[in-house]
Structure 1
Amino acid sequence: MDYSKSGGPKTAKNPTRHQEGKPSGKAKPPGGRLSKQELLARMKAATEAKKPV
Structure 2
Amino acid sequence: MDYGKSGAPNKGKNTARYSEHNAKGSAKNPYGSQPSKADLLARMKAAVEAKKAGK
Pair in the same fold by TM > 0.5: no
Higher relative contact order (CA 8 A, sep 6+): 1
TM-score range, shorter chain: 0.3 to 0.5
With structure 1 as the length reference, what TM-score do the two structures score? 0.36
Q: What TM-score comes out, normalization by structure 2 length? A: 0.34
